[in-house]
Chain A
């Protein structure tokens, strides 16, 4: 334990940089424990708080600049790739797009606090062709707020974190086994939930040709377009004939306007 601590103190900045860089690049290993630890070490005088903060922000900017560039050159395929490894991939693309439509550049200030959005926000900025100076400013500020918040927590609650660490060391491998089990259980639940969702979708889905035949035969069916407002407002935007547009967020409020005595077919992009 003592050797580990000495190692962290000696290589703290490098470990922090790598940890934050990895997480911001999409590696599913949280850097939050490292940020808390760095804050705690800064409180004890072992590390410089400002330098640690700068290190974390630099790592964020390096990773986010890469994603921004990929967003410009690869477009939505990058977002689809990131969302594929998300724990909520089905709503991930829509949520990230809607965040940008609603908040624009200021969304980058808090995106890092939102699971799933923290990595997707930078490529989205590239996709939406946010000006590079605006992106650098907003992303830098967001990274500072994010890294600063957690490091400050570590700084302020150094004693409690130490107690927690000592407790974990005393519990030994049982503690880590418990954490691993809890995390594994959560991921398994998410996986099962997703499989069930897709199974229901597979059973219920309708192919375009089938829908076209239904409409042509005079069968009453309500077709609902759930694409985001941006796609509807594009020049020359088109839709399936007869479809009504409802943004996903307003779907509950629009229920009374959608005929319910028939099949409802939903579609996105």
Chain B
């Protein structure tokens, strides 16, 4: 789907979010504004 839209490369993150957390990498709190699914179009 992404490649059809011209994306260079689609890469799955190994281990997902849990893998990121286990690696001790920083996270940030969820902010509603970044949820594209709920964005309101005026």
A residues whose Cβ falls under 8 Å from a Cβ of B: 201, 204-209, 211-212, 223, 225, 227, 229, 232, 236-247, 250-252, 254-255, 257-258, 260-269
Contact = CB atoms under 8 A, between A and B. Distances in A.
Interface string B17-41: 1111001011111100011110100
A237 B17 contact: no
A245 B12 contact: no
Contacts of A201: 12
B2 A260 contact: yes
A227 B18 CA distance: 11
A260 B1 contact: no
B21 to A, nearest CB: 8
Contacts of B9: 204, 263-264
Contacts of A206: 11-14
Given A209-B25, A244-B36, A266-B12, 13 more contacts: A205-B14, A207-B14, A207-B19, A208-B13, A227-B17, A232-B30, A232-B35, A238-B30, A239-B27, A243-B34, A255-B1, A260-B2, A266-B10
Contacts of B39: 257
A241 B27 contact: yes
Contacts of A227: 17
